[in-house]
Amino acid sequence: MAKSIAINAGSSSLKFTLFEMPEEKEIASGIIERIGLKDSIFTTKFNGEKYKVVEDIDDHEIGIQKVLDKLIELNVISSYDEITGVGHRVVAGGEYFKDSVLIDDDVLEKIESLSELAPLHNPANATGIRAFRKILPDITSIASFDTSFHTTMPKENYLYSIPMEYYEDFAARKYGAHGTSHKYVSEKAAKMIGKPLSETKIITCHLGNGASITAVKGGESIDTSMGFTPLAGVTMGTRSGDIDASLLPYLMEKLGLTDINDMINILNKKSGLLGLSGVSSDMRDVEEAAAEGNENAQTALDIFYNRVQKYIGQYIAILNGVDAIVFTAGIGENSKETREIIIDGMDWFGMKIDPEKNDVRGEERVISTDDSKIKVLLIPTDEEVMIARDIERLRKSN
Ligand code: AMP
C-alpha cells in the first residue's frame, strides 16, 4: 500500500493532504499558517478530529518535520519511510511543463527560473520542494503545475496582440492557472452529464480567493481568464483582474509612485473585492456588509458577478455552444447567491437554476432545472487527489 502526500506551499503557509493509494483515500490533512512569523498555527485533521498547535515555526523545513512527526504521533504512519511519494503544487510551469514531472535538479532550477510568471507563488513552491528533498530525499517527488492543463490553448487564445517577437524572444503570452482544478471538475462534469469527455463543451468557474474561468472543449482547455500571471481575468479577493494597462502610468503619477512593482502590488494585494468594498477580501464578509446596506460592498459583489458573466458569455461564443457550466472552489461551492445571480442574469442563453437544488454547500450535484438547456453543476474541486494520482502514475513509470 502506498501513502502519498500532496503539498501546497505558500510563502508563509504549507498545506498537506495524505492519501492512501491507489484507493485515493484521504487519511489526514492540515495546514501550517504564519511560517516565519511569531505564533505559527499548525492544524491537523485526522479521523474527524482537529488538532491545533500554536508555536513558532521558523521555516518550511521545520514545518515539514512537524507535519511528519505529528503523523507519527497520531499513529497515521509509523515512520517516515511509509510515505512513498510527494507531489508539490507549482503555479507556473511556463511552456516547459505540459504535464506533471518527476523532480530533479534541472526541474527545480526551471521552477525557480519561472518565478517571473508567478512571483507570489513559484519561489514559495520551490522552498517547499527543497525542504522536502532534504528530509525525504529518496521518495518519488513530483511537481504538478497549475499551467499544464492550459498548454493545449491555441495560439489565437494564448497570444496577446503585441509584437510577435515578444512571444518569440521572451515567451510573453497567456499561461493561465488553476489548471488542476479546471481539469478535475471538467472530467467530473462530463460524467455527470453522461457525455463522452471528447464530445463536451464545458465552462468551468473556479471562484475562490483567486478566481478563473476556463473554456474546456473535448476535455482540453482552449482558453482561460488568467493571463501571463494570475493577476488577469475576473475580479478576485485582492486582485484586480483585467484592466487597461494605460491606467498604470496614470495612477503611478497620481500616487507619486516611481516603482512599477509598487503599482503591481496594489493590483495584486489591495484591489478586487477588498479594494472595491473597503471591507474585506473574503466573500463572506463582503456579502454580510452588503446585506447590512454597505453600498461599496454591494458594488463589489455586482462587479464580481458581472465579470464572471462576461467571461462565460465570451466562452459560450468561442466554444460556439456549451453543455454545462460548473461552479467550484470556496465561493463557487458555498455561495448560493453568487451562483444564482450569475445564472439568473443569463437566462436568455437557456440556463435556469433550480433554487431548491441550489440551496446547498459543497455538494456535488446538478443545480439547474430539468428543462434547462445548459446544465449548471456544483462540483467541489479536489486538486490534491489529482496530484496524488500523478504521483502514482509517475512512480510506476519510473
Ligand atoms: P478558496 O480560495 O477556494 O479557499 O475560497 C475562498 C473564498 O471562498 C473566500 O472569499 C470565502 O469567503 C469564500 N467562501 C467560503 N465559504 C463561503 C460561504 N459560505 N459563502 C460565501 N463565500 C464563501
- Mind giving me the DSSP string for 317-369? HHHTS-SEEEEEHHHHHH-HHHHHHHHHTTGGGSB-B-TTTTS-SS--EE-B-
pLDDT, position 10: 85
Ligand 1 pocket, 237 CB below 6 A? yes
128 and 215 co-located in one domain:
no
Of all protein residues, the one whose alpha carbon is nearest to atom 20 of ligand 1 is 335
The answer as to whether 26 is a domain residue is: yes
User: Which residues line the annotated binding site for ATP?
Assistant: 15, 206-210, 282-284, 330-334
Residue 252 CA to residue 238 CA, distance in Å, equals 19
Instruction: Indicate if 131 and 210 belong to the same structural domain.
Output: no
Let me know whether 111 and 224 are in one domain. no
- Give me the CATH number covering residue 27: 3.30.420.40
Minimal CA–CA distance to 200: which of 224, 223, 188, 218? 218
My answer on whether 136 and 266 are in the same domain is no
Angle at 123 between CA 121 and CA 127, to 5 degrees: 115
Give the largest CA-CA distance in the chain. 61
Residue 77 in any domain: the answer is yes
Q: Is 127 in the same domain as 202?
A: no
Determine the distance separating the centroid of ligand 1 and the alpha carbon of 209, expressed in angstroms.
7
- The domain tally of the chain equals 2
Instruction: Decide if 104 is catalytic.
Output: no
Residue 263 is predicted with a pLDDT of 98
> Which residue in the list 58, 104, 138, 146 is annotated as catalytic?
146
Q: Which of 126, 145, 164 is the last residue of a domain?
A: 145
Within-domain flag for 101:
yes
Ligand 1 centroid to 102 CA: how many Å?
32
Pocket-testing residue among 146, 328, 335, 378, ligand 1, by greatest number of atoms within 8 A of Cβ = 335
- 10 Å Cβ neighbour count for 245? 7
Looking at the structure, do residues 19 and 105 belong to the same domain, yes or no? yes
User: Quick one: average pLDDT of 108-122?
Assistant: 89
Q: What is the pLDDT of residue 121?
A: 86
Is 52 a pocket residue for ligand 1 (Cβ < 6 Å)? no
Does one domain contain both 133 and 228? no
What lies within 8 Å, CB to CB, of 229 at 6+ separation is 92, 117, 118, 119, 175
**Is 332:234 a contact under the CB 8 Å cutoff?**
no
Which residue bears the cell 433554487? 355
Q: At residue 312, does pLDDT exceed 80?
A: yes
**Does ligand 1 lie within 6 Å of residue 335's CB atom?**
yes
Evaluate whether residue 391 is within a structural domain: no
pLDDT > 90: what percent of the chain?
93
Tell me what pLDDT residue 394 has.
95
Please check whether residues 16 and 135 belong to one and the same domain: yes
* CA separation for the pair 74, 156 (Å, rounded): 52
Q: Are residues 133 and 234 in the same domain?
A: no
Q: Which atom of ligand 1 is nearest to the CA of 286?
A: 12
> How does the average pLDDT of the chain come out, rounded?
96
- Please report, to the nearest 10 degrees, the dihedral formed by the alpha carbons of residues 284, 289, 295, 298 taken in order: 20
pLDDT in tens, 179-209: 999 999 999 999 999 999 999 999 999 999 9
The Å distance, Cα 294 to ligand 1 centre, comes to 19
Q: What is the pLDDT of residues 141-178, one digit of tens each?
A: 999 999 999 999 999 999 999 999 999 999 999 999 99
- Same structural domain for residues 122 and 201? no
| 162 within a domain of the structure (yes/no) | no
The string of pLDDT tens digits covering residues 28-44 is 999 999 999 899 999 99
Within-domain flag for 73: yes
Q: Which atom of ligand 1 is nearest to the CA of 209?
A: 2
Which one-letter DSSP state was computed for residue 397? H
For residues 211-239, average pLDDT: 97
243 and 367 fall within a common domain: yes
Say yes or no to pLDDT of 307 above 80. Answer: yes
Is the pLDDT at 1 greater than 80, yes or no? no
134 pocket-lining for ligand 1 (C-beta < 6 Å): no
Pocket probe for ligand 1: among 209, 285, 288, the residue whose CB has the most ligand atoms within 8 Å is 209
**Beta-bridge partners for 221:** 216
**Residue 358 falls within a domain, yes or no?**
yes
The pLDDT tens digits of the residues spanning 315-353 come to 999 999 999 999 999 999 999 999 999 999 999 999 999
3 state DSSP class of 154: coil
Residue 385 placed within a domain: no
Residue 224: pLDDT band with limits 50, 70, 90 = very high
Domain that holds residue 59: 2-145
The reply to whether 141 and 15 lie within a common domain is: yes
Domain boundary among 104, 130, 145: 145
Q: Is 291 in the pocket of ligand 1 (CB under 6 A)?
A: no
